[in-house]
């Protein structure tokens, strides 16, 4: 079974930075796509960033220029570097590891940005 595990969320002041990680064992990591999603209270889950197996990256408009997704296949890990954080970035952040037709969700990590 594949169980992605997100880490390194926390409480940070507005303007600060956090670097989330998503580790997924039990899968050939080099061939998977990985997405970061977030869900704020009473809001729908939102796609934040995606990195493909080939390294193609896309971002939501709301985080472009502030967030950076990257991957280290040797460590089965994807990172989300979040800079210039805003109060509206407060959410639970989830990673989704996928290789069609399968996808695997982590349990999420809370990010709280105080203004």
Percent of the chain surpassing pLDDT 90 = 91
Q: Give the model's pLDDT for residue 1.
A: 83
How much is the average pLDDT of 63-86?
Answer: 97
DSSP characters over 65-115: TTEEEEEEGGGTEEEEEE-S--GGG-EEEEEEEEETTEEEE---EEEEEE-
Give the separation between CA 89 and CA 61, rounded to whole angstroms.
13
Q: Over 90: is that where the pLDDT of 10 sits?
A: yes
Q: Give the model's pLDDT for residue 84.
A: 98
Q: What confidence category does residue 111 fall into, taking pLDDT thresholds of 50, 70 and 90? A: very high
How much is the average pLDDT of 79-99?
Answer: 97
> For the chain, how many helices (H) and strands (E)?
0, 11
Give the separation between CA 24 and CA 12, rounded to whole angstroms.
26
Q: Over 90: is that where the pLDDT of 2 sits?
A: no
Q: Which two tokens stand for residue 65?
A: 């220029």
């Amino acid at each position: 079974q594949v169980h992605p595990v997100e880490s390194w969320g926390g409480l940070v002041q507005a303007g600060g930075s956090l670097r989330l990680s998503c580790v997924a064992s039990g899968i050939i990591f080099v061939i998977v796509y990985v997405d970061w999603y977030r869900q704020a209270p009473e809001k729908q889950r939102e796609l934040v960033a995606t990195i493909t197996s080939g390294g193609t990256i896309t971002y939501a408009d709301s985080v472009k220029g502030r967030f950076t997704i990257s991957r280290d296949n040797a460590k089965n890990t994807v990172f989300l570097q979040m800079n210039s954080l805003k109060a509206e970035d407060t959410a639970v952040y989830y990673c989704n590891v996928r290789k069609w037709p399968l996808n695997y969700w982590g349990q999420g990590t809370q990010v709280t940005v105080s203004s």
